[in-house]
Amino acid sequence: MKTLRLYLLRETLATLAMTVVVFTGILLLGNVLKDVLVLVVSQKASLPVVAKAVGMLIPYVLAFSLPMGLLCASLLVFNAAMPTERLNIADTVKVQWGAYLSSGSLLLSDMGRVLASIEQDEAATHDAFCGASNEASNRRHYGDGRNSGAFPNARDRLLLGAAKHGLGRRDVHPCINLFKGVRIGADGSVTADLGPFAPGRSLVLRAEMDLIVVIANCPHVLDPRPWSATPLRATAWRGPVTAEDDPIRTATPERLRAFLNTEDLYRR
């Protein structure tokens, strides 16, 4: 009976994963083709120009949705044009005088530039402290932490994603864990807020420059429950360039300065 349950679970998850991939791909492809056909039919642009424009369009908007409430998405962000510039957790927390990221928060680079902004946040449980799980932590929790094993860790999964862009282990910097939060007590104690939460929570992340985004879908390093990775839906679409009077941009002098630093980079 145990073998049968495992077989059914494996088959169900495989079908669910394939359905999510295919459905999301169809939606994205449909949106791209719609915009391309309008340009081509109206003869406003040739096919080579349209293809190049689609590849270079910025900013992108990333939306993450949780079909289930147990997911933890570890996030790395790089400047696509210069990957040595990447998300800096310490500056993200320090410059904005806030360690608990939510709507209106910025993701800042080590060069003082804004990489992305959190436009909408239905979760309000994100972790900028604990970082990603690794092979050793997973081995302690589950008995195995190998990337090729039954309980892969977030750090090695992030490495696999980064390697697709020519990046190595030293480029896997401290990450933000989305949808799983922690709170720091007055005595320095760490209290995890790991759910389970209601399914369907989402986050809208607005890219403020061309980015490389790497996501690892693995349990939070402090999660004491059995290893489980539930589906994550990530959707990207074209959005307008952030306006000068955007409320996130102008919310504080520190945030405005980060936007100005990013804009100065693209004026050079």
As given in the structure block, the two tokens for residue 200 are 């369907």
Q: What is the pLDDT of residue 44?
A: 66
Q: What percent of the chain has pLDDT over 90?
A: 55
Q: For residue 266, what pLDDT band results from cuts at 50, 70 and 90?
A: confident
Q: What percent of the chain has pLDDT over 70?
A: 74
Q: For residue 15, what pLDDT band results from cuts at 50, 70 and 90?
A: very low
In angstroms, the CA 259 to CA 92 distance is 13
* Span 41-61, pLDDT tens digits: 676 667 676 666 555 544 555
**Mean pLDDT value of segment 168-190:** 92
Candidate from 77-91, 111-125, 222-236 with smallest mean pLDDT = 222-236
Candidate from 23-32, 80-89, 142-151, 165-174 with smallest mean pLDDT = 23-32
Q: Are the CB atoms for 114 and 264 separated by under 8 Å?
A: no
Q: For residue 22, what pLDDT band results from cuts at 50, 70 and 90?
A: very low
* Span 207-261, pLDDT tens digits: 999 999 999 999 999 988 888 878 888 888 888 889 999 999 999 999 999 999 9
In angstroms, the CA 205 to CA 215 distance is 13
* Span 72-81, pLDDT tens digits: 899 999 999 9
* Span 128-157, pLDDT tens digits: 999 999 999 999 999 988 988 889 999 999
Q: What is the pLDDT of residue 53?
A: 56
Give Cα 15 to chain centroid, integer Å: 24
Number of Cβ atoms within 10 Å of the Cβ of 19: 11
pLDDT at 25 over 90: no
**Mean pLDDT value of segment 62-66:** 58
Q: For residue 126, what pLDDT band results from cuts at 50, 70 and 90?
A: very high
As given in the structure block, the two tokens for residue 41 are 């039919």
Q: What is the pLDDT of residue 38?
A: 64
Q: For residue 83, what pLDDT band results from cuts at 50, 70 and 90?
A: very high
Sign of the alpha-carbon torsion through 239, 240, 241, 243: negative
Q: What is the pLDDT of residue 17?
A: 54
Q: Are the CB atoms for 204 and 119 separated by under 8 Å?
A: yes
SS3 for the chain is CHHHHHHHHHHHHHHHHHHHHHHHHHHHHHHHHHHHHHHHHCCCCCHHHHHHHHHHCCCEEEEEECCCCCCCEEEEEEECCCCCCEECHHHHHHHCCCCCCCCCCEEEECCCCEEEEEEEECCCCCECCCCCCCHHHHHHHHCCCCCCCCCCCHHHHHHHHHHCCCCCHHHCCCCEEECCEEEECCCCCEEEECCCCCCCCEEEEEECCCEEEEEEECCCCCCCCCCCCCCCEEEEEECCCCCCCCCCCCCCHHHHHHHHHHHHHHHC
Beta bridge partners of 204: 63, 120
Please state at what angle helix 2-41 crosses helix 47-56, rounded to 10 degrees. 130
Q: What is the pLDDT of residue 206?
A: 96
Please name the residues in contact with 202: beta carbons below 8 A apart, sequence gap of 6 or more: 63, 64, 65, 66, 120, 122, 123
As given in the structure block, the two tokens for residue 144 are 């195995």
Q: Are the CB atoms for 96 and 106 separated by under 8 Å?
A: yes
Please name the residues in contact with 229: beta carbons below 8 A apart, sequence gap of 6 or more: 71, 217, 218, 219
pTM: 0.74
